[in-house]
C-alpha cells in the first residue's frame, strides 16, 4: 500500500485489483459501491455491521447542559445523532497481537 499510516480508497481498490484480478476501474467502483451502500444505510438510521471487523452504530444524544471550561458558563448542548464504531472481538485480538 502506498500511503503510510492511512488506508485510502485507492489502497483498497489496489488490493482488490491484485487479489481478484479486476481492473483498476472495476476495483475502485466496487469500493465506491460498498461505501455508498454503508453511507446510505447510516443516512436512513440503520446501523452497519461488518462481521469480524466491527459495527458502526448511530446514537441519539439528548439535549444537555455543558460548561465552557475556560469561563465556567453553562451552555445548552443541542440534541444530535452521533456515529460510533465498536470493534469486533476478532479485530481487537488482531490489533493486540500487533
Burial class (CB in 10 A: 0-12, 13-18, 19+), 16: buried
Distance separating alpha carbons of residues 37 and 32, to the nearest angstrom: 9
Does the pLDDT value for residue 1 go beyond 50? Answer: no
Judgement on whether residues 98 and 51 belong to the same structural domain of the protein: yes
Judgement on whether residues 1 and 12 belong to the same structural domain of the protein: yes
Q: Pick from 51, 63, 56: which is nearest to 91 by CA?
A: 51
pLDDT for 88 equals 96
CA 31 to chain centroid, in Å, comes to 14
3-state secondary structure of 13: helix
Average pLDDT taken over every residue of the chain = 93
Which three cell numbers mark 95? 490489533
Provide, rounded to the nearest whole percent, the portion of the chain with pLDDT above 90. 92
pLDDT for 97 equals 86
Judgement on whether residues 6 and 29 belong to the same structural domain of the protein: yes
Judgement on whether residues 51 and 71 belong to the same structural domain of the protein: yes
Amino acid at each position: 500500500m502506498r500511503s503510510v499510516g492511512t488506508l485510502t480508497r485507492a489502497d483498497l481498490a489496489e488490493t482488490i485489483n491484485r487479489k481478484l484480478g479486476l481492473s483498476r476501474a472495476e476495483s475502485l467502483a466496487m469500493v465506491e459501491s460498498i461505501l455508498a451502500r454503508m453511507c446510505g444505510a447510516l443516512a436512513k438510521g440503520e446501523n452497519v455491521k461488518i462481521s469480524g471487523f466491527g459495527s458502526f452504530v448511530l446514537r441519539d444524544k439528548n439535549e444537555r447542559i455543558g460548561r465552557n471550561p475556560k469561563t465556567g458558563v453553562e451552555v445548552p448542548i443541542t440534541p444530535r445523532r452521533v456515529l460510533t464504531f465498536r470493534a469486533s472481538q476478532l479485530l481487537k485480538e488482531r490489533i493486540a497481537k500487533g
